[in-house]
Structure 1
Amino acid sequence: MSEKGLERETEGISVGEREPVVADSSPKGGRLRSSWKKLWKGRKRKALALLLVVAIAGGVVIWRGRGQTASAATTYQEAAVERRSITNSLSSSGTLEPADSYTVNTLVSGEILSDTFEKGDQVEEGQLLYTIDSSNAASSQTQAQNSYSQAQTSYEQAVKAKYPQADLSGTVSEVYVNEGDSVSAGTQLLKIVADENIYIDFYFTYADSGDFYIGQTATVFIDGFAGTLTGTVAAVSSSSAAVSTGVPLTTVRVRLANPGLVTSDYTASAVIGSYSSYGQASIKVGASSVITAEASGKVAGFNWLVGDTISSGDRICTITGDSVDNQIESARISVSNASTSLENARDNLEDYSVTAPISGTVVTKNAKAGDNIEGGSGSTLCVIYDLSYLEMTMSIDELDISSVEVGQEVRITADAVEGKTYTGVVTEVSVAGTTSGGITTYPVTVRIDETDGLLPGMNVDAEIVISSADDVLAIPSAAVSRGDMVLVTANSPSAVNALDQEAPEGYVYVPVETGVSDNSYIEVLSGLQEGDTVAYLQAAGSASSGDMTFVMPSGAMSSIPMGDMPSGMPSGGGMPSGGPGGF
């Protein structure tokens, strides 16, 4: 199409003589693409997409490639290099939440006997809040305790039946079984004698305690035994008594070895020195015990012989067999079940004393002393907020979430508190995003420690400062081409550093190094100085310069960098067939 024909098509749009500034779509043009992406994200996507559709449908699309001459009027916007502060930030709104909150419920039912707080009080974790009538629960615990004790006793008896033990210390005096014998409950295993001596308390008349002494020899006559036994005085009473005739007497205890057949059924008399004892005295035999089997089975591990010394608690043997093993297992299961029941009963009893699960402020009190409550998840007694700090959640777009990290400072403002800015900090960046309408956002948790004037439930605006620079050289973001070049007027001081590259008349390209940027301006680290004037393509009513210019029905032009076109739009090639303009 000829230039004149194009003029007729555009009806009155004049053709400029200067070549348009072309925004690069290469990786070096990343900062311009970033600016476009910031526009093409979040809630703005659909609106921009609609605007593009309207623009394309109602106007003429003019394709401009490298080396082509513009077919529509182009206007260069000029701006002086100046010093300013630049802040790159992300904003979101949210609702304040307490640091922690807890709804206090109970699973038990009954009358509330007491409460220890009022609404608005500060309570500490573990503090008693309510006491509920627990009389029934206490009775249940007592029953569970008794059942557990009985089960434990039965288990200990079952173990003892399998492993018989000596019940006193002494000497094995008799053995009744051998290794491998089969026994039944009640079968005697062995006899233990704690003391092989016998003791006899003799009475002497017409004698003083001084007439006897410990260690003195005593001749003992046991009724029914021929001959005599020799014993030793073990003790002498220090006081005298009197027989029925009124004659005083002295008690002398004699110890002697048991010949083996003497029992407590026998009586004896004695002669000590020149004194004979009065009447017949009873005999005291040392303690003894016969160990019997308490379960049926075979005897194993039996190694005891007569005369062996044995201590209380020593194992006599092991009774083997299914019967005794089954008895032990049954008793063990009973103990386990009883223990569980007891633990449940104790836990249930504890539920009747309701304590604070967290430290904080009571914001709601629904129950008080004297109320009858029904236990369950819906039985809210009170609500506690931990107000030591507040939190909010920001929703950050997927294009920006990589710029957010824990520890970043957040500026908080609330409509309810005018003229005050609070400082928060990012405490968590979640990787669990939420997608809606093709847009994914990620929750970012912000903590606010200074909360004077703020309350849970308030709506606030938050801004995360990604990067910032104060009093730095800056130019409009649209002026940067290919990520590291800027078009400046030929009379600018920095024009002396011009690149050997074709530029529009009256301008030259200079290389630059850029820094912090926002949606409008970008920091210049090197390549420009104060006094320079930059230029960039911006037709009347258009967007920032780029590789595609939309001619609006009104005659205005809008340019978009081709490398930054949103998904679904043409990039790096021609318009779809049948597109506006017929290119």
Structure 2
Amino acid sequence: MTDQQTPVMEQTVQPGSPAPAAPKGPKKKKRRGKGKLIAGILVTAAVVVAVAVILWYFVFRETDQQGEVMTGTVEYGSIQSTVEGSGTTKARNSASVTPGTGTILELYVQEGDQVEAGQQLYKMDDTAAREAVTAAQESVDNAQKDLQAVYDKIAELTVKAPHSGNLREVADLKVGDTVNEGDTIATIVNDTKLRLSLYYSYAYEDQIKVGQTAQVSIPAIMDSRTGTVEKINKVRFVSPEGATHFEVVFVLDNPGTLTEGMEASAGLTASDGTPIYPYQNGKLEFYETTVVKAKASGPVEQFNLMNYGDVKAGQTMVQLGAKNTDEEIASKEEALKAAQEKLKTANDELAKYNATSPIAGTVLSCSLQEGAEVQSGQGISIADTTQMVVEITVDERNARYVKAGMMVNIDQYGTPYMGIVESVSMTASGENGVASVPAVVTVDNFDGSMIPGTYVSYSFVASESDNCLVVPIQAVKYVSFDNVTLPDTLDAAPSEGGDMGGMIDGEMLPEDGMTDGEMLPEDGMIEGEMLPADDGTVISDGSMAVPQRYSGGAFAKPLMSVAIPGGGVVVGGGSMDGSMGGTGSTDNAIVWVQSDEPPVNAILEPDPSWEQPKGFWAVPVTVGLNDNSQVEIVRGLSQGQVIFLGYQNPEQMYY
């Protein structure tokens, strides 16, 4: 490929046009741009100088344009921690009565009536309801019998002696043998006494009485024993001679030498001394004989059987092993429970047909009409409004101050009442990162002016300090002690009233960084939320002021507040380590104190970021209670010290 050459276009000269001039040499540029460059440099330099002047004037120049320094004084005063909130009233005792299905035959009350407990409210036809109760009661009775039968079977596995006596005809048993229901275990004879049955002529009918003594002759021992007439049976026994006789039963003690089958006779004496003899002799019998049979089946676990062995009444003779009856018992108990629930439901339904008032009080509402069919949702509402209840919730950090018996100020649209804390729950509930403790406040309402279901506001003093050192709330700054050296002593200079020694409400502040058993958070937040101020103000270091508003309509002002790591405060308690800080990353409270010489407890080299005001020294303090305007100083300051509050100028006030 050959290099391409740029074509040359021929120039055509129009007729009459002047001929082109001969080419000249290179044309030289003019030097006007140099002047513009110099002008731009001068303008830029002027701007830089102006900015420098502005920065010096507004930033680096020492001036009083921050505004006038505002100061305050450490003084003695009093401060309270008050909890406020709102709640809904309700009657302490209330009840609702709902009729059954049917027609109201008679209605005895209307709205506004006063009723007594047990007073009948209306009348309905309850025939069907009563029949349902009767059927349910029968089911309960049958279920109880079935369950008792199971327990009786279990009890019968233990074979006991029905009475004292001597064993005869004992069954041959071994451990492990199976005994079936109905098997004979043994025969028990009560041979401590003997019976004798004899027949006497009716001619002596009036001469023989129960309890009369007789001499019982026993030929076998050639002796006699004293017996007693136990029973007289007016039977008709005819002898071969044609005489009629009645039966007399004697009983006598057995000295241990007599036995059944011995022949015996008994002689009596008539009232005139004439002897009375029986028709013929009889035979001695054991006083009581019982054949013991098993009433349940099972293997022999243990036995105490021996022919002619003596036993006492209730003594265990044989113990049979129990079958697995747990499942059967559980089934019977479940059936009984279901029957009892049906009976309760039936009784509750019956009560709806001829209802009586469950409490004494006022009929608040009655939607029933005599002669009308009962509609769904209709009924009668009764309440005892002489005493009302307000359920409140108190933030967990103030719950420690709420005690049963505390007085509570109640206000309902300008009408004041006095309430009393009746109870405080031991269980807290959480919401939005803040836990609340329920409490119940009772209010006397004898005149009935407080209506159930209406809103009221309440307030009470949770804690207070009297005759304590206080400063304006803006005087306390919360800072970090990470990069400063604390003084050897953190106590304030001696003053009247002295130092409270790190105590709040008379209690020593904990030294382990814990409040109510929990470590204080290090991020200035409690359960993820920065503690807001009651009035929304922000301390100059960016942390929020106190107190905090709570869920459930309750908030505190003022509250106990103590600086915690990371900024913010703990309300209702707090933890300072006693030395107001130390090494490590912690946030603490300081107050700027005006003095020519540094106080003994001043921080000599404060952090530059604290922006130390001229003529003031940073003094670490321990704070106690605070409200919206002032803070209690527990340690660090003395009465009369002048303190820094902030700057003020005509246009703006800031701290």
TM-score by length of 2: 0.47
Q: Note if contact 1:155-1:335 (Cα within 8 Å) is conserved in structure 2.
A: no
Q: Note if contact 2:473-2:631 (Cα within 8 Å) is conserved in structure 1.
A: yes
The aligned counterpart of 1:460 is 457
The aligned counterpart of 1:215 is 215
Pair 1:391 & 2:386 matched: no
Secondary structure class of the residue paired with 1:541: coil
**What percentage of aligned pairs have identical amino acids?**
17
Cα distance in 2 for partners of 1:185, 1:404 equals 67
Shift of 1:313: 3.5
Alignment deviations for residues 431-473 of structure 1 (CA, whole Å, 9 cap, x no partner):
65533xxxx6664767666667655522437586776778999
Cα distance in 2 for partners of 1:111, 1:282 equals 79
Cα distance in 1 for partners of 2:413, 2:108 equals 34
The aligned counterpart of 2:200 is 203
1:174 to 149, 152, 169: 169
Alignment deviations for residues 375-432 of structure 1 (CA, whole Å, 9 cap, x no partner):
9xx7876364776464364787xxxx857752498985747216x5968879679865
The aligned counterpart of 1:317 is 318
Q: Note if contact 1:202-1:277 (Cα within 8 Å) is conserved in structure 2.
A: no
279-288 or 192-201, larger mean C-alpha shift: 279-288
The aligned counterpart of 2:186 is 190
1:397-476 aligned within 5 A:
402=397, 405-407=400-402, 414=411, 416-417=413-414, 432-435=429-432, 443=436, 455=451, 457-460=454-457, 462=459
1:124-523 aligned within 5 A:
135-153=131-149, 155-157=151-153, 159-160=155-156, 162-179=157-174, 184-195=180-191, 197=194, 199-203=196-200, 214-215=214-215, 217=217, 234=227, 285-286=285-286, 287-294=288-295, 301-319=302-320, 325=323, 332-333=329-330, 335-337=332-334, 339-341=336-338, 343-344=340-341, 347-348=344-345, 351=348, 363-364=364-365, 382=381, 384=383, 388=387, 390-391=389-390, 393=392, 402=397, 405-407=400-402, 414=411, 416-417=413-414, 432-435=429-432, 443=436, 455=451, 457-460=454-457, 462=459, 477=474, 483-486=590-593, 508-509=615-616, 519=628
Q: Which structure has more RCO (C-alpha within 8 Å, separation ≥ 6)?
A: 1
Q: Note if contact 1:202-1:270 (Cα within 8 Å) is conserved in structure 2.
A: no
Instruction: Name the amino acid aligned to 1:203.
Output: Y
Instruction: Name the amino acid aligned to 2:316.
Output: R
Q: Note if contact 1:406-1:429 (Cα within 8 Å) is conserved in structure 2.
A: no
Cα distance in 2 for partners of 1:91, 1:319 equals 70
Cα distance in 2 for partners of 1:231, 1:146 equals 57
Cα distance in 2 for partners of 1:135, 1:358 equals 27
Q: Structure 1 residues 460, 209: CA separation in 2 closer, same or farther (over 3 Å shift)?
A: closer
Q: Note if contact 2:472-2:630 (Cα within 8 Å) is conserved in structure 1.
A: yes
Instruction: Name the amino acid aligned to 1:292.
Output: K
Cα distance in 2 for partners of 1:296, 1:535 equals 96
Alignment deviations for residues 271-290 of structure 1 (CA, whole Å, 9 cap, x no partner):
99998968668878444232
2:87 to 95, 106, 121: 95
Cα distance in 1 for partners of 2:228, 2:162 equals 29
Q: Note if contact 2:153-2:296 (Cα within 8 Å) is conserved in structure 1.
A: no
Secondary structure class of the residue paired with 2:214: coil
Instruction: Name the amino acid aligned to 1:460.
Output: S
Secondary structure class of the residue paired with 2:139: helix
Shift of 1:75: 2.7
Q: Structure 1 residues 340, 404: CA separation in 2 closer, same or farther (over 3 Å shift)?
A: closer
Q: Note if contact 1:411-1:463 (Cα within 8 Å) is conserved in structure 2.
A: yes
Shift of 1:136: 2.0
Shift of 1:349: 6.2
Cα distance in 2 for partners of 1:412, 1:255 equals 87
Cα distance in 1 for partners of 2:462, 2:300 equals 84
Alignment deviations for residues 491-523 of structure 1 (CA, whole Å, 9 cap, x no partner):
xxx87999999xx9x984478898776545678
Q: Structure 1 residues 98, 142: CA separation in 2 closer, same or farther (over 3 Å shift)?
A: same
Cα distance in 2 for partners of 1:363, 1:447 equals 23
The aligned counterpart of 2:648 is 538
Secondary structure class of the residue paired with 2:169: strand
Secondary structure class of the residue paired with 1:142: helix
Q: Structure 1 residues 121, 216: CA separation in 2 closer, same or farther (over 3 Å shift)?
A: same
Cα distance in 1 for partners of 2:420, 2:248 equals 96
Shift of 1:217: 3.8
Cα distance in 1 for partners of 2:418, 2:285 equals 93
The aligned counterpart of 1:30 is none
Instruction: Name the amino acid aligned to 2:214.
Output: I
Q: Structure 1 residues 241, 338: CA separation in 2 closer, same or farther (over 3 Å shift)?
A: closer
Please give the root-mean-square deviation of Cα atoms over the aligned residues, in Å: 6.7
Shift of 1:171: 2.8
TM-score by length of 1: 0.51
> Structure 1, unaligned stretches of length 5 or more?
16-61, 221-227, 488-493, 546-583
Secondary structure class of the residue paired with 2:401: coil
Cα distance in 1 for partners of 2:358, 2:202 equals 82
Q: Structure 1 residues 182, 213: CA separation in 2 closer, same or farther (over 3 Å shift)?
A: closer
Cα distance in 2 for partners of 1:523, 1:146 equals 74
Q: Note if contact 2:469-2:632 (Cα within 8 Å) is conserved in structure 1.
A: yes
Secondary structure class of the residue paired with 2:308: coil
Alignment deviations for residues 16-42 of structure 1 (CA, whole Å, 9 cap, x no partner):
xxxxxxxxxxxxxxxxxxxxxxxxxxx
Cα distance in 2 for partners of 1:166, 1:523 equals 84
Instruction: Name the amino acid aligned to 1:314.
Output: Q
> Structure 2, unaligned stretches of length 5 or more?
1-46, 478-539, 541-588, 606-610
Q: Structure 1 residues 421, 253: CA separation in 2 closer, same or farther (over 3 Å shift)?
A: closer
Cα distance in 1 for partners of 2:183, 2:470 equals 107
Q: Note if contact 1:191-1:288 (Cα within 8 Å) is conserved in structure 2.
A: yes
Q: Note if contact 1:96-1:458 (Cα within 8 Å) is conserved in structure 2.
A: yes
Count of residues paired in the alignment: 450
Q: Note if contact 2:592-2:644 (Cα within 8 Å) is conserved in structure 1.
A: no
Instruction: Name the amino acid aligned to 1:537.
Output: Y
